[in-house]
Amino acid sequence: MNDSNISTASPSGVARSAGAKAQGSRYSDEALTPPVDVIEDANGITLYADLPGVTRDTLHLHVTADELTIEATSSLKVPQGLQSSHTEVGLGRFHRLFTLSKELDTAKVTAELAHGVLRLRIPKAEHAQPRRIDIKVA
């Protein structure tokens, strides 16, 4: 399930539109920081992020040359007239920013979303991958 929402545009425009959408509330710009796992191997970096209640449509990933932004909104349906008595997840927005290093190939990022967990794979650029140098016999 590849996500089609990966954009390479500047995240500033999207951040502005998201802020305008959730206006009025004092906490409209507040967002939770989702916990992540980041694992690196020889060919690239894999990132897992917990985004409960987030669907494909409400997840926005922005990749520039040196930054990765995860912006997501929980699309949880709450029954009418619900009176909350105990709250541990008090916000429905997630936001996290990572600085990428230059050996990562941001054009080849792939993303999957399953059961509220985002799996992001950022491969390393061809020239940055470890390789063996052939020795020519003169």
Interacting residue ranges for another protein, rule: CB under 8 A: 35-46, 48, 50-55, 74-76, 78-89, 114-117, 121
Residue placing its CB nearer to another protein in the complex, 73 or 106: 73
Query: Closest approach of Cβ 76 to another protein, in Å?
Result: 6
Residue placing its CB nearer to another protein in the complex, 10 or 75: 75
- Nearest CA among 103, 36, 116, 21 for reference residue 69: 36
Other C-beta atoms lying within 10 Å of the C-beta of residue 71 = 20
Residue placing its CB nearer to another protein in the complex, 8 or 43: 43
Tell the residue number behind the tokens 């992540």, with chain if given.
36
Query: Closest approach of Cβ 4 to another protein, in Å?
Result: 17
| Total residue count of the chain as it appears in this document | 138
Residue placing its CB nearer to another protein in the complex, 114 or 133: 114
Query: Closest approach of Cβ 7 to another protein, in Å?
Result: 21
End-to-end CA gap in the chain: 51
Beta carbons of 63 and 8 less than 8 angstroms apart = yes
Query: Closest approach of Cβ 28 to another protein, in Å?
Result: 20
Compute and round to an integer the Cα radius of gyration of the chain: 19
